[in-house]
């Protein structure tokens, strides 16, 4: 008989995507189920990543790759529109890299590029936020764990 059970977090529609809201939501969830969750998979919003790290620090936390790629496409779509495909490709490949040195090279190149123009500061800040929790989404930094993949 299995002692472990899987629980799907009920879908919550939140119009206040702030750290305090996610912290409250996690508290309610964990108290309701009277258990500690072993794994959280979220969409990668920096506020929820911070809340999971602070409130459920003993749990593993990964960012859904589908959401991550969608967020990359949404936040950096202007690169392709402005014929900056080289940088667009680098951003989109970040999560798939398996070599840490190559990851650091890509990030360094992107950081240098985004620092060249004041209008790119928002992109640079977003990328730096992502890098601060890269072990939750990047293949070469996160723990090895079975996933079913995209197909």
pLDDT at 48: 86
Q: Do residues 114 and 121 lie in contact, with contact meaning Cβ atoms separated by under 8 Å?
A: yes
Q: Which structural domain, as residue segments, surrounds residue 36?
A: 19-63
pLDDT at 53: 85
pLDDT tens sequence across 23-58 = 888 888 778 777 667 778 888 888 888 888 887 777
Q: Do residues 109 and 124 lie in contact, with contact meaning Cβ atoms separated by under 8 Å?
A: no
Q: Do residues 104 and 110 lie in contact, with contact meaning Cβ atoms separated by under 8 Å?
A: no
Structural domains of the chain, count? 2
Clarify whether residues 34 and 96 are in a common domain: no
Residue 141 located in a structural domain? no
pLDDT at 42: 85
pLDDT at 7: 58
pLDDT at 93: 92
pLDDT at 149: 52
Structure tokens at 113: 């590029």
pLDDT at 151: 42
Residue 29 located in a structural domain? yes
pLDDT at 36: 67
> Which residue do the tokens 């790759």 mark?
65
> Which residue do the tokens 């970040």 mark?
94
Q: Do residues 117 and 33 lie in contact, with contact meaning Cβ atoms separated by under 8 Å?
A: no
Clarify whether residues 35 and 57 are in a common domain: yes
Q: Do residues 74 and 44 lie in contact, with contact meaning Cβ atoms separated by under 8 Å?
A: no
Element (H, E) at 42: strand 39-42
* Euclidean distance between CA atoms 118 and 42, whole angstroms: 31
Clarify whether residues 54 and 84 are in a common domain: no
The parts of the chain modelled with pLDDT lower than 50 are 1, 150-151
């Amino acid at each position: 008989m299995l002692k472990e059970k899987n629980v799907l977090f009920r879908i919550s529609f939140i119009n206040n995507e702030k750290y305090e809201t996610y912290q409250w939501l996690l508290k309610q969830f964990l108290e309701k189920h009277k258990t500690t969750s072993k794994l959280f998979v979220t969409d990668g919003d920096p506020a929820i990543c911070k809340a999971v790290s602070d409130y459920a620090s003993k749990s593993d936390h990964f960012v859904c790759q589908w959401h991550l790629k969608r967020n990359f496409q949404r936040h950096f779509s202007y690169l392709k529109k402005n014929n900056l495909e080289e940088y667009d490709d680098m951003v989109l490949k970040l999560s798939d890299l398996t070599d840490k040195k190559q990851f650091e090279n890509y990030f360094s190149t992107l950081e240098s590029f985004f620092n060249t123009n004041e209008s790119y500061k928002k992109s640079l800040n977003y990328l730096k936020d992502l890098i601060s929790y890269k072990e939750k989404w990047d293949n070469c930094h996160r723990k090895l764990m079975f996933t079913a993949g995209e197909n």
